[in-house]
Amino acid sequence: MRILLLTLLISSSLFSQTTKLPTDKNLKVAYFASGCFWCVEAIYESVPGVKEAISGYAGSDVKNPTYKTIHKTGHAETVAVYYNPLEIDYAELINVYYLSQDPTTVGQNPDFGNSYRSIIFYSNEHERKIAQAKFNYVNKLFNGKAVTEIKMIDHFYPAEDYHQNYEKNHPDNSYVKAVSIPRLNRFKDKYFKK
């Protein structure tokens, strides 16, 4: 009985959503879905002006999703990007977004499916116009094959604590070594050498 209680206690702590969100009132937040959130979080955290990136879930009306349920709820793995607008603007965050992915696929290799789809979430009309203009430009570059959704953010749910800063905390993980780090390096090669 004690073993069962201990197992339940440990497993519930792994899935608690106690992630602390930044409280600096000078920061703005933008939301992006682009494949695995471990990769996207690391990409945005490498960009000057970004102060924090939080992995989570958005894009569905179902409340309180978890990593185990998002494949059924319609949520996408999403990253909340906290940034200083005096150092980087929303339009540049969208440039980062498109430079870090293939906008013609639903998901990013090797992660495909609804929970890995490409979405730029906006919080207001100004952001929507910027996102739509950037999408139109990228779509033209890819001959009308871009699949990025542009949606109003309804609610963002931070992912379980063990997903936060996953690439930094698990550099020897096989997925991180085979997928996350190479994707981050491809982005850096394009972004920082432009």
Which residues are marked as active site? 36
Q: Edge to edge, what strands does the sheet with 119-122 contain?
A: 149-152, 119-122, 28-33, 76-83, 50-58, 157-158
Alpha helix locations (H) across the chain?
A: 2-14, 37-45, 70-73, 90-99, 125-141, 166-169, 174-175, 181-191
Distance separating alpha carbons of residues 166 and 19, to the nearest angstrom:
13
Kindly give, in sequence order, each residue whose CB lies less than 8 Å from that of residue 176, ignoring residues fewer than 6 positions away.
38, 166, 167, 170
Alpha-carbon distance 69 to 67, whole Å? Answer: 6
